[in-house]
Amino acid sequence: MTGSFWLDLLFPKICQRCGEGFQNGLSNILCRSCFDSIPAYEDPVCDHCGMSLPARAFEDARLPRCRDCGEGDYFLDKVRAVGPYEGALRIAHHGFKFEGMESLKSDLAGKMISCSTPAFWEGVESLVPVPLSAERERERGYNPAILLADEISKATDIPLRPILKKIKPNKPQMSLGREERLRNPKGAYQVRSEGPLPLRVVLVDDVFTTGATLEECAKVLKKAGVAWVGAAVFGRTPHHF
């Protein structure tokens, strides 16, 4: 009998999504079948937030955009998100980011790759994790975006290059109202790089809320000479709130 057999007997794993006991899943919070059936965004998707659009929604539009993102000009060229921040996706993310379950990184990163298209990664020279301030990273012990980017790098062979630095601490986006969120990341990031910058990069972060953080990162990268900036995230909050 293995140690885990007795542990499972004493502390059975109950899926927080379906309420069933399970053996194989994500840590002790989510069964594999709930994780596998996360409803993912399918093409066509809004190019600025990754949300699915009805198949013919933008046949005549200048850009494939959801109503929230509108027709405005953005620095981000393309965003891929796995799905809306709810249900099993939310439970998995919560365990990963807030309950110290770093081991979930490969499941989350695998989902980010399988829910995107090969074309999204084509020609990408570097993966750039969205940085935390040094202070926050010390507090938390790790940066979830770096863990995800590292896993994606291993699976895709695209090198990880942490060329962004956070120079101004700001409040966590998820704790703020919409107006504050839009202002919050301004001036918070800087490019740090020795040597030439890549021309095509994908930013990696765990959640897209208003997109303000990713936009600010994309702006800084483009001003430094990067030509194309995409972003890969695990979850997208269902509405721009």
Determine the Cα angle at 88 with ends 149 and 120, to 5°: 35
Shortest distance, position 86 Cβ to Zn ion, whole Å: 15
Shortest distance, position 118 Cβ to Zn ion, whole Å: 22
Shortest distance, position 79 Cβ to Zn ion, whole Å: 8
Closer Cβ to Zn ion, 57 or 197, answer by number: 57
Take residue 5 and report the two structure tokens written for it.
């057999």
Closer Cβ to Zn ion, 18 or 57, answer by number: 18
Nearest to 229 by CA among 74, 84, 116, 104: 74
Identify the bridge partners of residue 230 per DSSP, sorted by sequence position: 78, 202
Q: Helix crossing, 105-114 with 87-98: angle to 10°?
A: 140
Closer Cβ to Zn ion, 70 or 225, answer by number: 70
**Binding-site ranges for Zn ion (CB under 5 A):** 15, 17-18, 31, 34, 46, 48-49, 66, 69
Closer Cβ to Zn ion, 129 or 211, answer by number: 211
Residue at 93: amino acid letter: H
Nearest to 232 by CA among 204, 198, 192: 204
Shortest distance, position 125 Cβ to Zn ion, whole Å: 26
